[in-house]
Amino acid sequence: MSATVLDRRTAYRPPRPAPAWWGDVAGSAAVLSLLVVTALWTADRGVQELLGELATGLTSAGRLTGLLSADLMLVQVVLMARVPLVERRFGQDRIARWHRLAGFTSFHLLLAHVVLTTLGYAGTARENVLTQLWLLVTEYPGMLLATAALALLVLVVVTSVRAARRRLRYESWHLLHLYAYLGIGLALPHQLWTGADFVGSAAARAYWWTAYLVALGSVLVFRLGLPAWRSLRHRVEVAAVVPEAPGITSIWLRGRHLDRLPVRAGQFFCWRFLDGPGWSRAHPYSLSAPPSGDLMRITVKALGDGSAGVATLRPGTRVLLEGPYGRLTGEHWRGGGVTLLACGVGVTPLLALLWELPYAPGQAVLLYRARTPQELAFRAELDRLAAVRGVVVHHLVGPRARRPSWLPVHAEGRSDAETLRRLSPDIATHDVYLCGPDGWIDAARAATRAAGVPEQHTHHERFAW
């Protein structure tokens, strides 16, 4: 089946990258929103009150930190709403880093808002701090909801700390993370009913309603509406389940007009398989072959409950899809030579790229790292790529090296860069694609730099949550 489908692959479509200016516009909009919030606070006598009496100054500082925290929360929502232009310009890994930075900054500002506002109100009312905190929570409009929102956000932040995330299954962490939306929603009445900077002027009301509506619209349109529309339009279902190696399974998917999906080799979708309990949890899997007619393929390694269950899917199972996402595509390819470094199941998106890119015979080199020969997937397909497309394939098999390296232990006596140049002699002039675990990617990037590959010609995307 695979050979037949891949031999009739669709013609190469030149990439249509997001406009370069879009990145500047998006970044400037986020910074501008913080400046607007600060300007509105200033216009409402924020600076004068900050420089006045101690209690008034603390209250004013609490207002500013609360406003900045709320604004960053909305920036977070837009960042993770998976707006196509934002995705194509920056990629999921960079967006996730910004989301994390904005999230922790927003949370710390929120805590500062609670402390400073309580101290300021207590100083003005000549009340004990704990008494004033109790009065704020129980007597001010919307504050009980705001307290519940704070508790939810604390839960989200605590479970987002790396040490906690490592102890949680992805599915559990993702479910807990969704409470951030509820927390933001519960905080809104507090802003509406007691936030002087929200209701104090027409300009402030216009800004905050616009910001909330943009965030809500981004989620409704791009996180919910667009995936639902594509799932209904393409009606994807499982066509076949094919074992590739121990613990690695390919799923062939059939649907209507799949060639019209705006997807490129190297990208991934979030998939929901309607096969019983747990169907609501989405799983990110890359395409291992570009769409061809009414078929496309993903390949999954059994790393958890969700991925292990993929091997038991039955033909005909309906599938919901969300995407495509990712920037590990031919959009960056300049033409000419290309070297691809894969570790384990990281070969999946690179295999799709090998089928799609229109390189000449001998111009593509694949370096495929695995711990054991049994873990090497797609042997027959790689042999076919070597025969039909002239791909040079090197299998690098063996246990992990004892030092930070992309090489197996038996090759660690050589320099990482020297081995790269030996296996791909023209690598310094190639575009280089990397896919694998984070530590392995770091070692591979260091080796490509040492081998003379400019940083802008090395392409990778991290998928760790």
- The pLDDT of residue 425 is 94
Mean pLDDT of the region 152-179:
68
- CA distances (Å), origin 198, targets 61, 124, 204, 223: 15, 22, 5, 27
What fold does the segment set 23-221 form as a domain? Answer: Four Helix Bundle (Hemerythrin (Met), subunit A) (1.20.120)
- The CATH class given to the 235-325 domain equals mainly beta
Q: What pLDDT, on a 0 to 100 scale, did the predictor assign at position 14?
A: 44
- Residue 20 — pLDDT band, cuts 50, 70, 90? low
Q: Report d(CA 110, CA 149) in Å as an integer.
A: 11
Architecture label for domain 330-460: 3-Layer(aba) Sandwich (3.40)
pLDDT of residue 15: 44
User: Tens of pLDDT along 327-358?
Assistant: 888 888 888 999 999 998 889 999 999 998 99
Peptide bond into 324 cis (omega under 30): yes
pLDDT at res. 11: 45
User: Can 23-221 and 235-325 be said to share one CATH topology?
Assistant: no
Distance CA 315, CA 253 (A): 9
Give the tokens for residue 8.
Answer: 């009739």
**Residue 420 is encoded by which pair of tokens?**
């790269």
How confident is the model at residue 128, as a pLDDT? 83
Q: Where are the domains of the chain?
A: 23-221, 235-325, 330-460
Q: Is 244 helix (H, G, I), strand (E, B) or coil?
A: strand
What's this model's pTM, rounded to 2 decimal places?
Answer: 0.79
Query: Region 440-462: what's the mean pLDDT?
Result: 91
Query: What is the tens place of the pLDDT at every residue in 38-86?
Result: 998 898 888 888 888 888 899 889 889 988 988 998 898 888 888 887 7
| Contacting residues for 461 by C-beta, under 8 A, at least 6 apart | 91, 92, 93, 326, 327, 328, 435
Q: What is the pLDDT of residues 404-415, one digit of tens each?
A: 888 888 877 788
Distance CA 232, CA 241 (A): 22
